[in-house]
Amino acid sequence: MRDAAHGGSLKHEVFHTPFEVNPRFEAWPTPGRYRDYPGGDKLPDKIKVWRVQRPKKRSSGSVVSRGWGFDDSPDAEALVAGYNTGKEYGAVGVGRQGNFLQWGFSAPPSTMTGAGRRLFFNCICYIHKFDGKRPLIRKERGDRTYAVRDAMLINKIKNKEFFRGSFTPEQMEKYKSDPAGLTKVYADGFELIYRDKTYRIDEDLTALGLKSNRTVETLQKLIELLTDAKHADRARRLLQRYVAASFETSAQWQAWFRKNRDRIYFSDVGGYKFRVVPKGYLTKPLR
């Protein structure tokens, strides 16, 4: 990451509490690498940023984290996107998961800008609110956006081992000179992507007429289908695929769903599973 943050929304309380952060915006060239990632072709030539630090030497030691899937569990939030030349637009310069806040910039306070110091100061105060709130999930899988990104790269990266966890050998053969074709497969089926050794499009859900594997409505429908003799086996298989919990009977599934509905979330990063937020963890409603 370079020395600036992207000029996105400043609504989050880390820009206001306890002190106002007033960045000075500038327009910097859009890094070429951003074009290599999904959506990068739509970015303008120059992009709005603000300086967080002015290190005495050329900046090093700053880092962004992948933004894909960052917000897919209620314990995590991307606070600031970092201007970088190695990852995607929107990669996270400052982010939080549970009681941990990663400040991706590297400069010590004396070489932060005034706005940078204020933000750092506010972040220290902000993370204090999460005393006792340990992370809900640990990283198990990549977000589904990786399927699209990897498809875009299929003829650019020569080492095919890179794709072993992404695509089947049959897909590699079929699309080896057609990245656009493979990208379309995953872009069209984006809401149905799951992991089973590689990225797959869920045909079981398609057969049931369901359009997403990560909505609470889908989960509710699968539980209802347990009482439908025609679809019960498939529904049970899907519940096993997508729910961290497990029950024997339809009644148990229904009781679990009724009790936890408002605290159920789906996380790709947490293993492509529906999970329940523990009672008392949330500071605001999930939906």
Among positions 2, 23, 51, 65, the unique one binding another protein when judged by CB under 8 A: 65
The number of angstroms, rounded, from the C-alpha of 76 to the middle of its chain's C-alpha atoms is: 9
If binding is defined by CB under 8 A, does position 127 make contact with another protein?
yes
Among 16, 24, 54, 139, binds another protein (CB under 8 A): 139
Please give the structure tokens belonging to residue 262. 């408002």
Query: Kindly report the CA angle at 134 between 131 and 136, in degrees rounded to 5?
Result: 145
Cα–Cα distance measured from residue 2 to residue 82, given in angstroms and rounded to the nearest whole number: 8
Of 31 and 95, which CB lies nearer to another protein in the complex structure? Answer: 95
For another protein, which is the closer residue by CB, 133 or 231? 133
Out of 2, 117, 144, 231, name the contact with another protein by CB under 8 A. Answer: 117
Residue 11 CB partners (closer than 8 Å, separation 6+): none
Question: Whole-number minimum distance, CB 80 to another protein, in Å?
Answer: 12
Quick check: 270 and 78 in contact, CB under 8 A? no
Stretch that binds another protein, among 132-140, 157-165, 176-184, 235-243 (CB under 8 A): 132-140
Counting every residue, how long is the chain?
287
At 263, the amino acid letter reads R
Q: Which is nearer to another protein, 101 or 182 (CB)?
A: 101
Selected from 11, 42, 138, 230, the binder of another protein by CB under 8 A is: 138
Considering only 30, 102, 220, 252, the residue that binds another protein (CB under 8 A) is 102
CB within 8 A of 231, min separation 6: which ones?
208, 225
Q: How many residues of this chain bind another protein (CB under 8 A)?
A: 48
